[in-house]
Amino acid sequence: MIANNDDCYAEIVTQIGEAKSLAAMQKIAGDICKVYNLANIAYHALYIPGAKVFNPILLLTYDPGWIARYKDNDYFKIDPVVVSGTKSFLPLDWVNLDRESAVARGFFAEADRYDVGRQGITLPVRGAAGERALFTITSNMSMREWDKRRIGYMKEFQMIAHYMHDRIVDLSGYRDAKPKPLLSAREMTCLEFAAQGAAVKQIAGKLKITDRAVRLFLSSACAKLDCATIHQVVAKTITLEMLRP
């Protein structure tokens, strides 16, 4: 784990679930940057059902000058991260982005003047209600240090990205309040272990049941909560305060 320890990671997830406003989420994002030695975190909702504007939610730790310039020049249309991220379902390492075209060179040179971060990873997020978002972390550490850390970053921020997405969308008022679905004791237990990062085989070993049974319990929980993936269902149960990892 890249965070200082397991307790630190659990505290981050707890704070996300307890955030009462977007301002609180902004502070949490800044705190996460410090814990993980990051330059910035950027959450960008691309599409939310019911939203009447493009790019309905932005939660960013970037320099305010860069944010204003980005919006004023409508860089959403040329940003290589956004252009590539909207087409991908997999984590996007910035080393694989187009940096050779004149437009890309100019964009990254300008971003560098605002200390956006030389390295980065962008995680596409698909929400339970059909939302689409991009969650980005950036760093100014050396390439050698970045190479050591980026796999760990991808693993841990897959979950953090979904936690933050679910809470941010909820705080933004884009979800109707609904009764919490009832999950069985086994479904809840499997989800609790999944929230801690346990794989299906590990959960099966802890509960002394088959791998197939674990998958059935997790699939059933996904169906009840109208989620497509385990990441989504874990994030949703934490947001609904049904469990905490």
Please give the pLDDT value at position 102. Answer: 93
Q: Model pTM?
A: 0.75
Spatial separation of the C-alpha atoms in residues 21 and 18, rounded to whole Å: 9
Spatial separation of the C-alpha atoms in residues 26 and 15, rounded to whole Å: 12
pLDDT in tens, 167-223: 999 899 887 656 667 888 899 999 999 988 889 999 999 999 999 999 999 998 988
> Beta strand 40-47 with 132-139: parallel, antiparallel or unpaired?
antiparallel
In DSSP notation, the chain reads --SS-HHHHHHHHHHHHH--SHHHHHHHHHHHHHHHT-SEEEEEEEE-TT--SSS-EEEE-S-HHHHHHHHHTTGGGT-HHHHHHTT-SS-EEGGGS--SSHHHHHHHHHHHHTT--SEEEEEEEE-TTS-EEEEEEEE-S-HHHHHHHHHHHHHHHHHHHHHHHHHHHHHTT-S---PPPP--HHHHHHHHHHHTT--HHHHHHHHT--HHHHHHHHHHHHHHTT-SSHHHHHHHHHHTTS---
Q: Is 111 exposed, middle or buried (0-12, 13-18, 19+ CB in 10 A)?
A: buried
Please give the pLDDT value at position 229. Answer: 86
Spatial separation of the C-alpha atoms in residues 239 and 172, rounded to whole Å: 13
157 and 121 Cβ atoms separated by less than 8 Å: yes
Spatial separation of the C-alpha atoms in residues 152 and 2, rounded to whole Å: 6
59 and 111 Cβ atoms separated by less than 8 Å: no
244 and 14 Cβ atoms separated by less than 8 Å: yes
Please give the pLDDT value at position 7. Answer: 64
Over the chain (245 residues), what is each successive 10-residue block's mean pLDDT?
A: 59 88 96 95 93 91 97 95 90 90 94 96 88 96 92 90 92 75 88 89 93 91 86 82 65
Spatial separation of the C-alpha atoms in residues 159 and 66, rounded to whole Å: 27
Spatial separation of the C-alpha atoms in residues 89 and 229, rounded to whole Å: 13
Q: How far apart are the first and last CA of the chain?
A: 15
